[in-house]
Amino acid sequence: MNNDLRGYEAGRYRDGATWAAQAEIRQHLFWRIGAVVFGGVGGVSPSLGHLTDTKFLPAGGGGLRFQPSRKTNVNLRLDFAVGKHSNALYFSIAEAF
């Protein structure tokens, strides 16, 4: 998988075709602070025709959001994600999607 699925190191799972889907619930907490929970699944296969034969790679996690300015709708995000055999911490500007 590349960076499409939080919780997996980029390049850890590689093949001819990949797919990933994620969902996220965002909740304002107070002031300019928010929280999220997310989950996703992905997979890799030799070709597009074999995507249905792949083993699922699940992922999930949570994070915090901080909006530095009320004038812009841009968040700083800190996420912790767990994959099948790995986990990762992400710090970034803007939402994952």
- Taking the model in full, what pTM does it have? 0.85
Cα–Cα distance measured from residue 49 to residue 58, given in angstroms and rounded to the nearest whole number: 21
Residue 96: the pLDDT is: 76
Residue 2: the pLDDT is: 56
- What stretches of the chain adopt beta strand conformation (E)? 17-30, 33-45, 57-66, 76-82, 87-93
Residue 76: the pLDDT is: 96
Cα–Cα distance measured from residue 16 to residue 63, given in angstroms and rounded to the nearest whole number: 31
Residues 6+ apart with CB under 8 A from 58: 39, 40, 41, 83, 84
**pLDDT tens digits, the chain, 97 residues: what are they?**
656 789 988 888 888 888 899 999 999 999 999 999 999 999 988 888 887 778 889 999 999 999 999 898 899 999 999 999 899 999 999 887 7
Structure tokens at 29: 């907490």
With beta carbons less than 8 A apart as the criterion, state whether 81 and 60 touch. Answer: yes
